[in-house]
Structure 1
Amino acid sequence: MKDDEPLVLNDPDRLKALAHPMRRRMLTHLNIHGPATSTTLGELLGAKTGTTSYHLRQLEKYGFIEEIPERSSGRERWWRRAQLPRDIRFPSPGELSPEDQAVLTEFHRIGLEEDRALLERVPAAYRSDPDWVKGSRGLARMTKEELNEFHDAYVALLLKYSHPADEAPSGARPLYVRMYTLPADED
């Protein structure tokens, strides 16, 4: 897979690895704050080390994280996010078998819970530092083809202005960025 090709999570087992709230929180922490140990993650997430170790092994098994051998010693293992394409997409329901579509539904449900929690933080974050909180709401009319072009252009723009942690310029901060489209005439 080329670096600029999107990674489509159409492997049900791989998707299932991400359809767990603790694993998603671990990945978010590693992505924002950098490498950590199972013990550190357990303390931050209020979980036992055995629990975090199990979830870390699942994330490693499916290629989402990797051990940092040069930092690990004895029983202390350090973990970081694996180098994956920055454009990660989920499959359409038709790409999965009927029994695996439940995994995609759970993946979406957990993501929606995360997004609701983020939206609840917007007013306080805006009061605290409005220069770092941006938003846009709108109604657009597009064909499916135009929507696909719009989405690809959005992802390209996001990738153009975002930096991997190790390449971020001084003053760059990790930001949550979300974009949704859904039909407005199905209310």
Structure 2
Amino acid sequence: MPESEPQSVPPSVPQPEKPLSRTLDPRSLRGLAHPLRIQLLRALRHYGPATASQLAERLDESSGATSYHLRQLAAHGFVEDDPTRGKGRERWWKAAVQGTTFDESLYENPDPEVRGAVEVYLHEIATIHAQELNTWLGTRHDWDQAWTGSTDMSDFTLRLPPERLRELNARIHDLIDAYRDSADPDAPGAARVRMHLHAFPQYEN
């Protein structure tokens, strides 16, 4: 994604902190590309620090499985111990990064194992997006009507060359970041909002 030129800002103006993000490379992608590991990292990012047992209960998995895969995530730098929690042998985990960036060079990697990891990762993210949307549709009546009127489930068809689609994606990301930077988590009625962005070419019949 193209980067914009940095703008000079007076030193007296505090800059908003961006969420820590990790750019996936072949090694880290192989370490993350497992359905349960992706779900574990997502749970820690969304709901905060937890133990392997708590995550097992949330994800309907065995604590042995969550404990093993948490250690694998830690070995690749995605999660880490939370020293502010836990007593004795109780081990709490937290997300080490709040976002991941997919390096497009991974699509063309010659290693079959890396290409397989790309497929696992992308399909799992697509599954999570569908689950989140279906959860909202199934629970929307539990929310204030103001939320129902504020949500969006639109789709659009454009005719663009690849470079124009890349430009469009970059502009949308910049707009979302502007709202992230100005967000007030203590604002009345504020809730965590999920946004999915899908943009892809389509065969014409």
TM-score by structure 2 length? Answer: 0.74
2:107–2:118 contact (8 Å) kept in structure 1: no
1:88 equivalenced with 2:88 (yes/no): no
Report the counterpart of residue 186 of structure 2 in structure 1. Answer: 169
Distance 1:31 1:152, change over 3 A: same
Deviation at 1:94, TM superposition (A): 4.2
Corresponding residue pairs, total? 182
Deviations along 1:145-170, one digit per CA (max 9) or x if unpaired, are: 1111111111222222236x9x7334
User: Match of 1:68?
Assistant: 82
Pair 1:148 & 2:166 matched: yes
Deviation at 1:93, TM superposition (A): 4.5
Asked whether the 8 Å contact 1:10–1:96 carries over to 2, the reply is no
Give percent identity, aligned residues only.
Answer: 29
Structure 1 gap ranges (5+): none
The one-letter code sitting in structure 1 at the alignment partner of 2:64 is G
Is the 8 Å Cα contact of residues 60 and 66 (structure 1) preserved in structure 2? yes
Correspondent of 2:43 among 22, 29, 34? 29
Q: What are structure 2's unaligned runs of at least 5 residues?
A: 1-17
Superposed displacement of residue 123, structure 1: 3.0
Matched letter for residue 58 of structure 1: Q
The question of whether the paired residues in 1 share the 8 Å contact of 2:22 and 2:101 is answered with: yes
Instruction: Report how far residue 95 of structure 1 moved.
Output: 4.1
Which structure would you say has the larger Rg? 2
TM-score (normalised: structure 1): 0.81
Change beyond 3 A, Cα 1:94–1:33: closer
CA RMSD of aligned residues (A): 2.8
